[in-house]
Chains A and B, each alone.
Chain A
Amino acid sequence: MPVISYIQAVTQALREEMQRDKDVFVLGEDVGVRGGVFRATDGLYEEFGEARVIDTPLAESAIAGVGIGAAMYGKRPVAEMQFADFIMPAVNQIISEAAKIRYRSNNDFYCPITIRAPYGGGVHGALYHSQSVEAIFASVPGLKIVMPSTPYDVKGLLKAAIRDDDPVLFFEHKRAYRLIKGEVPEEDYTLPIGKADVKREGEDITVITYGLSVHFALQAAEKLEKDGISAHILDLRTVYPLDKDAIIEAASKTGKVLLITEDNKEGSIMSEVAAIISEHCLFDLDAPIKRLAGPDVPAMPYSPPMEKYFMINPDKVEKAMRELAEF
């Protein structure tokens, strides 16, 4: 099986879906001739032409809104926000429009748009090129939010997102783009949106996380294994709506739960995960539910030591996992 990078998996999924369905098209800033500032749409302009790989004016609300209109007509647009941080002007279109179109029209209309955006820190991107924005959208019924961790998951989930009949926000960790490589089948496959994935079976502690932190947790688990600590790792993959059954099962399995997000702690995805566990798993819990997250400051600073201080990293994850195991 070929080994490709996380971002190559994005490109591969886009290319295959555009080949498969003529209603799929891409729009966003710099997605055309340049192939995206991260090169996610590399080669698509050459293959599919400017009518289906559209360089838009620099206006995020229009990127979302025009995409939504095309989706209501019957297209399957894939809109790119250059950075998740810049999705804010499009929030009204996403929350007031895309999320509610099916519901408000009593199922008469639906909105099969996929909105892709690179998120996450650790790339010296400072306040406005590092944020995790999923929590803003994670209380909006009607939306689905997918945040994959591996190239395999990227391809299967992006294809599923594009084929999904409802709006999907597809957040890609930009640090993972070239850092994370993995085996990806060349053939067509999809993975179910809304299903978490056990990335590692273990007995002593449970780690629930998503995105790049999955890799940090897996690395830490390898080290802890040598000390006889066995970690169970659940990758949420879809952060809204959450896979409650999988969360309950994973938390109940060990009774010691560490929740990791790169986002600011308060009101994060992990706040909701913690609530689900406390609602359902009280009598299986053997330790307080622990969260490892970014601090509650606006976003990560540019200065490398400050960025490092903010950012989740393998050492912080290992330390937190060890403490929980020892509790």
Chain B
Amino acid sequence: MAVEKILMPQLGESVTEGTIEKWLVGVGDKVNKYDPIAEVNTDKVNAEVPSSYTGTIKELVASEGDTLEVGELVCYIEVEGGVSEEETQEASPEQKAIENHDAEAGNEQDQPMKRRYSPAVLRMAQEQDIDLEQVKGSGKGGRITRKDIQAIIDSGEIPKKGGAKTQPTKEAPEPKQAATVPAQQPPKANATEVPVAEGDVEIPVTGVRRAIANNMVRSKHEAPHAWTMVEVDVTNLVNFRNSVKGDFKKKEGYSLTFFSFFIKAVVEALKEFPQMNSMWAGDKIVQKKDINMSIAVGTDDALFVPVIKNADEKSIKGIAREVTELAKKARTGKLKSDEMQGGTFTVNNTGAFGSVQSMGIINYPQAAILQVESIVKRPVVMDNGMIAVRDMVNLCLSLDHRVLDGMVCGHFLARVKEKLENISKENTSVY
């Protein structure tokens, strides 16, 4: 005696489920092979499902009205003298093959792939002057993978030719002797160095956090940062913006922020000072034709820098809209990677959280970043010697001193300042 299963059959191409419309048999009924046992509905056909065996219905697993996927159990039937299918099942040959393969992989001792370098590994090793002989590979057959090299670059510990061999560690390779390695090491991402006490919260480093960390380290490490600041009287801008923001919101459905005006002024100034819109490329400086404005957008746990492409072709309104859209996308995790690429200069709205002065880290490989601080009311001595209460803002510029010098940055900032101070109803259009 054996108990067999009757399963929901596939009734037609593309059909994946069926509904038991009506049972035509009950528990204890004797059925012959191909006797109908149930009426089944699908969205393609309606059919009577026949029994696959001769025997006695033992249990109706599905009830009338139940919708079952193809292959799901419908009922059990007791069959004379058979051997249940389940008992005969063995691992499929394919499954065995996979198991064997895994066993082999685990036993690999030698490293035949150690010196088989992929184009990416070779390129990165050449760019960073990494001695591949000293690198331990984590790939198949000891192959050095692109990720292995990236980990070395991120760690900043570059094994050079002539230097000591790397000591293989579980994390990134660590040089024993630092003769040819830069003396100053950025802090290493190594959890063991930080003592963790009870009650401390350990937050795993996400991909985004890791990317931020790497970019920051790289920028600070490679680009010599210099810093400068100007203060700007934006009383006129504040008045102008306050006079139009209500109508604008009503008409366009999003806010006309101060930030958009600042971006516009920076973009216009970049047009006049293209040196600012450039990048360090080792043996040359690349001055970018397009002005693609990166804007920093903070979320609860990360920082995104989406890009307003061809910002010089946009009105203040256009900029305001893109800022709104990009910020929304960043905060809902919907930013596409191409929306974060191609930036040529960054503006950071640090004023949004009350900061009045900050030193930005340059968005690598750009040449500079401008921090727009809070607008605050301050007493100011005017040209006529009188003291007035004015809306003042600080603009802080971090620059890559390899690319830029104080002079051009000073002129640039002066131009931005001039533009902002001259904003008024008469000479400014948001459209």
The reply to whether the CB of B54 lies closer than 8 angstroms to some CB of chain A is no
A284 touches B13 (CB 8 A): no
Q: A285-B120, A286-B118, A326-B139 are in contact. Are A178 and B17 (CB under 8 A)?
A: yes
Q: Which of A153-186 contact B (CB under 8 A)?
A: 174-175, 177-179
CA distance A82 to B26 in the complex (A): 40
Q: How far is the CA of A16 from the CA of B336 in the complex (A)?
A: 29
Stretch at the interface among A88-96, A105-113, A121-129: A121-129
Is residue B215 contacting chain A, with contact meaning CB distance below 8 A? Answer: no
Pair A245/B10 contact, Cβ less than 8 Å: no
A177 to B338, CA, bound (A): 32
- Asked if B147 CB lies within 8 Å of chain A CBs, one says yes
Q: Which residues of B contact A198 (CB under 8 A)?
A: 336-337
Within 314-344 of B, Cβ neighbours of A (below 8 Å) are at 336-338
Is A179's CB under 8 angstroms from B98's CB? no
B14 touches A38 (CB 8 A): yes
Mark contacts of B350-386 with chain A using CB atoms, 8 A cut-off: 1 yes-contact digit, 0 otherwise: 0000000000000000000000000000000000000
Q: B123 interface residue, CB < 8 Å from A?
A: yes
Contacts of B96 in A (CB 8 A): none
Residues on B with beta carbons closer than 8 Å to the beta carbon of A326 = 105, 139-140
- A179–B123 CA distance with the chains assembled, in angstroms: 45
Residues of A within 8 A of B98 (CB): 319
Residue on A nearest B118 in the bound complex, by CB = A286
A306 at the interface (CB under 8 A from B): no
Q: Does B15 lie at the interface of the complex (its beta carbon under 8 Å from any beta carbon of A)?
A: yes
Residues from chain A with a CB closer than 8 A to the CB of B15 are: 178
| Given the contacts A39-B44, A249-B337, A327-B140, A286 and B13 also touching, CB distance less than 8 Å | no
* A203 to B151 alpha-carbon distance, docked (Å): 13
**Given A245-B338, A327-B140, A286:B120 Cβ within 8 A:** yes
Q: Does A148 contact B (CB under 8 A)?
A: no
Min Cβ gap A130→B in Å is 9
**A/B pair count, beta carbons within 8 Å:** 68
- Name the B residues within 8 Å of A174 (CB-CB): 13-14
Contact flags (1/0) for A124-153 with B, using CB distance below 8 Å?
Answer: 110001000000000000000000000000
Distance (whole angstroms) from the CB of B295 to the closest CB of chain A: 21
For the complex formed, measure the closest distance between the CB of B338 and the CB atoms of chain A, giving whole angstroms. 7
Complexed CA–CA distance, A78 and B393 (Å): 60
User: Which residues of chain B are within 8 angstroms of A272 by Cβ–Cβ distance?
Assistant: none
Residue pair A179, B147 in contact (C-beta under 8 Å): no
Q: Smallest CB–CB gap between A42 and chain B, Å? A: 8
A283 touches B13 (CB 8 A): no
With a 10 A CB-CB cut-off, give which of A124, A249, A286 has the most chain B CB atoms: A286
Provide the bound-state CA to CA distance between A38 and B17, in Å: 14
What is the size, in residues, of chain B's interface with A at 8 Å between Cβ atoms? 27
Q: Provided the pairs A7-B14, A174-B13, A327-B140 are in contact, do residues A282 and B207 lie with their beta carbons within 8 angstroms?
A: no
Given A178-B43, A286-B121: A255 and B16 interface contact (C-beta under 8 Å):
no
B13 touches A124 (CB 8 A): yes
CA distance A177 to B42 in the complex (A): 13
Interface membership of B119, Cβ < 8 A: yes
Kindly state whether residue A204 has any CB partner on chain B within 8 Å: yes
Q: Which residues of B contact A129 (CB under 8 A)?
A: 13
B72-102 contact mask (Cβ, 8 Å, vs A): 1 or 0: 0000000000000000000000100010000
A285 engages B118 (CB within 8 Å): yes
The yes or no answer to B136 lying at the interface (CB within 8 A) is no
The interface residues of chain B lying within 8 Å CB-to-CB of A66 are: none
The closest CB in chain B to the CB of A282 belongs to B119
Whether B118 and A178, one on each chain, are in contact in the complex, defined by CB atoms closer than 8 angstroms, is no
Q: Is the CB of B336 within 8 A of A283?
A: no
In the complex, the answer to whether A283 meets B143 with C-beta atoms within 8 Å is no
Closest Cβ of chain B to A228, distance in Å, is 12
**Is B119 touching A179 in the complex (CB atoms < 8 A)?**
no
The answer for the CA separation of A255 and B123 in the assembled complex, in Å, is 12
Q: Are A249 and B338 in contact (CB under 8 A)?
A: yes
Closest-by-CB residue of B relative to A204 is: B147
Instruction: State A175–B13 Cα separation when bound (angstroms).
Output: 7
Does the CB pair A123–B123 fall under 8 Å? no
A203-B207, A204-B147, A326-B140 known, 12 other contacts, Cβ within 8 Å: A39-B44, A123-B10, A123-B14, A124-B10, A174-B13, A178-B14, A198-B337, A245-B338, A255-B120, A285-B119, A286-B146, A327-B139
A-B contact pairs, 27 of them (CB 8 A): A7-B14, A38-B44, A39-B43, A39-B44, A124-B10, A124-B13, A174-B13, A178-B17, A203-B207, A204-B147, A230-B207, A255-B146, A256-B146, A282-B119, A283-B119, A284-B119, A284-B120, A284-B123, A284-B146, A285-B118, A285-B119, A285-B120, A286-B120, A286-B146, A315-B94, A326-B139, A326-B140
User: Which A-B residue pairs are the 8 nearest by beta carbons?
Assistant: A286-B146, A123-B13, A177-B14, A283-B123, A178-B16, A286-B118, A286-B120, A255-B146
B residues with CB within 8 A of A: 10, 13-17, 43-44, 94, 98, 105, 118-123, 139-140, 143, 145-147, 207, 336-338
Chain A contact residues, CB within 8 Å of chain B = 7, 38-39, 118, 123-125, 129, 174-175, 177-179, 198, 201, 203-204, 230, 245, 249, 254-256, 282-287, 315, 319, 326-327
